Structure 1
Amino acid sequence: MKKIMFLYHVEEREYQIIEMIKSQLFSYSEKLDIRVGEFYHSIKDTIDFKPDVIVSIPPRDCYSSNYLTVLKLLTKAVVISMTTEGHHTFEDKIVQDVIGFNSYSPKLVDYYIMWGAKTSNILGRKLFGTGKVTNRKRIKTTGYAFYDLERTRKLFTDYPAYPEIVNWAKQYSRIHLVITGFSPADWSVQDYFYLGFFGEQKSVSKLTEEQIQEALKVKERYTLFRDKYINDIISVAEQMPDTGFFVKLHPVEISSKIRYYEKLSGYKNIYVVSTALPVGMLLSIADTMIHYNSTCNMEAYIYSVPTILRFLAQDSNLENILKESAYSYEINDREGFVNCLQNKCEFRRLPMTEKKLFDLFNWKMNKKYKPVEKIASYIFNAKKSQHLSCFDKEVIKAVESKEGEVIEEWLLYRFFEGKISRKMLYDLTALMKLQFIKIIGKLEGFVHV
């Protein structure tokens, strides 16, 4: 029986993807033992489980790469790293952030799973160039699991809020989805500081008046834009009582408990979505989406939902931004915006958006899109793990790290507390291997810093 261990880091983002993949894996064979756990809380369980395959997000920090190295060393599992964000910009600093500033053996990760062709190419080149993969053929392009609409639509019914949302929408002839994301309007100067607005500045007290005013100008710009954006929604909602408006708050606005949107509760045909729900759930019942240059624009396109962009005339890269929405209205053009909503907005093909969707998510219009099947297939067929050498400097570093010591101490404790059994012999073998690597490290003069 093949054993597969999924280790997630952020449950909200990864768990549903894992559930979709699990379902597909079991369609291939019932002779599978699949377990799921939070990465750092499942280290011991993973060692006990002795999986054939470990699936996790890429090890972007030294803690996860050290743990993963020791796990692979002891279990000999195939390690598959699965990107979960699905979207990247490609400035060098951003790419480096995505793959991490840590180092680990090029044989640690056997396969990287990425969503889009451009993402695979650029991140793959960086991974290979920094010695984090042995061969770029080990980077696989699958598409984005959450854009597998047939599967994600089935997931929506599992949300407790789903029946209420659907029933509310049935009251109206049309539904418009409104995307928010204006938390900088509520930030203090200190918030801007902690979020890196002032660069390398190390103390709030040392900010110059010029720096403070710069932050306050940004705050004011967000405040004015939000006021006009939301007031236009109120205006059109009053004029169109037979039309429903879902106002979906940004996750940051939800977690920050911003009270600005409470004023919308007085309007019967406005439903404020203030819990963390996938935007796809709302797109599946929306006729139009209103946004401010949100990345949700691409997801709306996949659902064939026409989008209306609200923008500032001085926005950067405006020429390209305007090409990525079916309709666009400057934030001061309330009349044009209202007229657009009063008429039926039609879905339009947008070449630039389609190019982005292919580059980032391997998605093409009118083409079968089965990313979950591809991901599951790579996991199901993964058989041969790259061998980690005891003489590999990165392996020695991981074993000598705090993470390696945690695993070693746990194995020692269990060994001396346990009864003679196969598990005890396994622990003894594992301990001997770790000690052997430490001896090699000392002999070779490797020092873990």
Structure 2
Amino acid sequence: MATRSNTPRRGKMVNGFDPSTTGTLDKRTRDFVERRAHLLGPAYRLFYADPVEFVRAHDVLMYDADGNEYLDAYNNVVSVGHGNPHVVEAVHAQMQTLCTHTRYMHEGILNFAEKLLGSFEDNIGHMMLTCTGSEANDLALRMAKHHTGNKGIIVTSEAYHGNSDLSASFSPSLGENAPLGTWVRRVPAPDTYRASANDMGTWLAGEVSKQVHDLQRRGEGVAAFVVDSLFSSDGVFAHDHPILKPAVDVVREAGGLFVADEVQCGFARSGSHIWGYQRHDVVPDIITMGKPMGNGYPVAGVAMRPNVVEAFGNDMRYFNTFGGNTVAVAAANATFDVIKGQNLLHNSAQVGAMLKAGVESLARSDERIGDVRGAGLYLGVEMVSNRATKTPDSKLALGLVNAMRAKRVLISATGFNANVLKIRPPLTFTPAHVDRFLSALESALRESR
């Protein structure tokens, strides 16, 4: 559906610093980058053409080594704000008291499980904790394969689901040099910018059905359809009406499971529901969580229907030294309390609507903004060189990302062509922060002409 470039991305990262330009940096930054490369090797990437060193942060503001203040409109990890005092105190108190794993009885994980499971539908009855979203998706697919006896996995075309050996094998957004499993099939993202939204659910079900048929012909069968319901790495597609159910029905009829990857779209991010999949009027078999769950502390998890984990749990065991440890549980519990107690779901809806309306206003006077989409505090702004042909303009998008960084506002880019501005601030964003953001974006657009 989308116009695509034929240039292989290899190991490159969207909005990544180009090491070949190190010589153009100021001496202090150049020395830092060279030391980092010497000590950490080539696999790590830095953001921005001009990398930035942060030394502290508070709420939605970050400060570099020179004391300059930046507006964070990107970091979903600290979902309730950098250094949130409630989360910090909970982690501090628990670390002083006890840090141990799930093989000992401890009430904290049970209390948190009751609270978290209460946010799902009644048939989601068990929860297991991991350290990262990658581990959560890895565990989810192990369970799905064991439960179904099948191997096949279906994902969207530019999905990202993790960097473990298994989760990377069904994360096409990692690029051409990251091989997909032979049992992985891709379907196009439901791109409502380039196709009608009216029959999108039927169309997506048809695309999934094709891949189900291919997997069955090759003897793999279908273990799971894995979806981030805001299609974050595909370019951020938030639909006003449910579209996933017909595709999920196809997968379930073939004996597969629906895995909702809530790492980026969950925890009130969409503004309308606590969980992204709830926008689609369908209940998953497995739900995975990560990134924002502990507001910066490494904690993630999997929730599932009891029948999905029953055979897996009886036939093998699960243990994770740090997954579900007492401190991680304290961080997750405190973060969830802040989301609920401060009604950040409502804030995401209200402030997100202001943000979206502001960008839409800019689009009315700038035809290079082809589409403004998203939900709550998660926006995708697609930059094009021609509105009539909807031709992606990645050069402009990445230029704007770096121009915003120069104006001390942090965003990034996403999508196959890296032409979609990715705007995803902490849930504590305020109207004043929206004004600052829009002022910077308007200035960056004006200067880029």
Tell me the TM-score normalized by structure 2.
0.27
**Which gives a bigger RCO, structure 1 or 2 (Cα 8 Å, sep 6+)?**
2
Higher alpha-carbon Rg: 1
Tell me the TM-score normalized by structure 1.
0.27
